[in-house]
Chain A
Amino acid sequence: MATTVWTQRLLEQVRKTRVWRSIFRRGPARTNRTRSLAVFGNLSLHVLPVKVREKSLRVRATYYLGSISFFLFVVLTVTGILLMLYYHPAVPDAYRDMKDLVYVVANGTFLRNLHRLAAQAMVVAVFWHMFHVFYRGGYKPPHEFNWVVGVGLLLVTLFLSYTGYLLPWDQLAFWAITVGTNIIGYVPLLGRPIRFLLLGGHIIGQNALLRFYVLHCVILPLAAVVLIAEHFWRIQKDGGLTVRDDNEREE
């Protein structure tokens, strides 16, 4: 008990300092108004709603599937950046680097498997989230635009999964991308040019590996971050989650 008083007193002192007040320009969030202001005034919190209905916090309202997907995205970003420290997107090196990560690098197996399994889990979570929203009618007005953003996020997730599949540069990767890019080639008129641009040539070689690497590590994650921010912000702007009270009928 004494320690709580002591830490509280220390916090009071820190809050009075000029540095603290320059960062958090409002006082402690003790009333609903100052709590709201604290959320509004924070770059990362302001996309989230200030208040949520109690019903929308119940596990059965969402099963936290969106949050789980986002959490997995964060895990994938962190583990992916760490994997990038040992991986060269070059033709003989890529496969060896992947093997080095598994057999030589300290905790490499752990990180690689975490990245791989989190990626698979994210695909599952995103699909489950989508089905859940669909069956709850979450795509209906006023949420229809956020549903479209969500479909964009699903596609980005699948493209991330697909581009990441080539990077180990093993037989599985090579033939999966062979089949996948040939499927793209069947698109009428645009298929062959898109395949050529995606591979940077006619064969799956150095150019294709580098392009998939850039897509996987830069372009698609950036697109995902932008869409995720929009997706979260729209929940708040569209009036919160679609929640159904089991005792009441929905409108």
Chain B
Amino acid sequence: MNMAAEDQSKAAEKPETKTPVSRRDFFNEIAGGALAIAGLGAAIVTVTYSSPNVLFEPPTTFRAGPLDDYPVNSVTYLQDQQVYIVRTEKGLWAMSSVCTHLGCITQWKPESNQIACPCHGSKFERDGNVEAGPAPRPLPHFAVRLAADGGLVVDKLETVEETEILKV
């Protein structure tokens, strides 16, 4: 009963509150909406345009030469690829030399048996774990495979767990 009364009063109010949209307002809103859509489209086109589809960057997979180049208990730095090849009795792994803090290139310090970053003093163990400094994550390990000819192939796009080492 109450509901019906409310509905009736609403229906009675409606014709009074409803104002007809003027021609000018209608066209203004249409034009404003069209401009907003065009503006949004232009912004999206600009952002997608600025985002390159083809990159002429160095390949991320590279050949690291024969296994014999890396003696047991050694850390070898491949400068062109910014990668360490570490070999121990347990096996061999490839590891990024790019500091996980802000991207500087770390250096292997044989005298202290650690990897050190010159920028903000991060220190890493030989397996990439953070020993000291601001680095938030250990150095990532990259997938290493043996090619048919016995050479090593490192893929820098594929990171692997530090337990996953090449047993040689």
Residues of A within 8 A of B (CB): 175, 178-179, 181-183, 196-197, 200-203, 205-207
Closest B residue, CB atoms, query A183: B102
Beyond A175-B119, A179-B119, A205-B57, whether A200 also contacts B52 by CB under 8 A is: yes
Give the chain A neighbours of B119 by CB distance below 8 A: 175, 179
Q: Are A197 and B47 in contact (CB under 8 A)?
A: yes
Q: Are B102 and A179 in contact (CB under 8 A)?
A: yes
Verify if B56 is at the interface (C-beta below 8 Å from A). Answer: yes
Give the chain A neighbours of B52 by CB distance below 8 A: 200-201, 207
Verify if B50 is at the interface (C-beta below 8 Å from A). Answer: yes
A230 to chain B, nearest CB (A): 21
Bound: A136/B124 CA distance, A: 50
Give the chain A neighbours of B58 by CB distance below 8 A: 203
Bound: A76/B104 CA distance, A: 31
Closest A residue, CB atoms, query B119: A179
Bound: A116/B36 CA distance, A: 42
The size of the chain B interface, using a CB distance under 8 A, is 13
A221 to chain B, nearest CB (A): 19
Chain A interface mostly helix, strand, loop or mixed? helix
Bound: A22/B55 CA distance, A: 56
- CB interface residues, B 113-145, toward A, < 8 Å: 119
Give the chain A neighbours of B33 by CB distance below 8 A: none
Give the chain B neighbours of A207 by CB distance below 8 A: 52, 55
Can you report 12 A-B residue pairs in the complex whose CB atoms are below 8 A from each other?
A175-B104, A175-B119, A178-B103, A178-B104, A179-B104, A182-B101, A197-B47, A197-B50, A200-B50, A201-B52, A207-B52, A207-B55
Closest A residue, CB atoms, query B55: A201
Residues of B within 8 A of A (CB): 47, 50-52, 55-58, 101-104, 119
Give the chain B neighbours of A201 by CB distance below 8 A: 52, 55, 57
Bound: A200/B51 CA distance, A: 6
Bound: A181/B101 CA distance, A: 12
Q: Are B104 and A197 in contact (CB under 8 A)?
A: no
Closest B residue, CB atoms, query A196: B51
Bound: A179/B101 CA distance, A: 9
Give the chain B neighbours of A179 by CB distance below 8 A: 102-104, 119
Beyond A197-B47, A197-B51, whether A203 also contacts B103 by CB under 8 A is: no
Closest B residue, CB atoms, query A207: B52
Give the chain B neighbours of A181 by CB distance below 8 A: 103
Q: Which of A175, A183, A202 contacts B57 (CB 8 A)?
A: A202
Give the chain B neighbours of A202 by CB distance below 8 A: 55, 57
Q: Identify 4 new A-B residue pairs, CB closer than 8 A, beyond the known A178-B103, A197-B50, A197-B51.
A: A179-B103, A183-B102, A200-B50, A207-B55
A12 to chain B, nearest CB (A): 53
Closest A residue, CB atoms, query B118: A175
Q: Are B51 and A203 in contact (CB under 8 A)?
A: no
Bound: A206/B52 CA distance, A: 13
Give the chain A neighbours of B103 by CB distance below 8 A: 178-179, 181-182
Give the chain A neighbours of B104 by CB distance below 8 A: 175, 178-179
Give the chain B neighbours of A205 by CB distance below 8 A: 56-57
A45 to chain B, nearest CB (A): 34
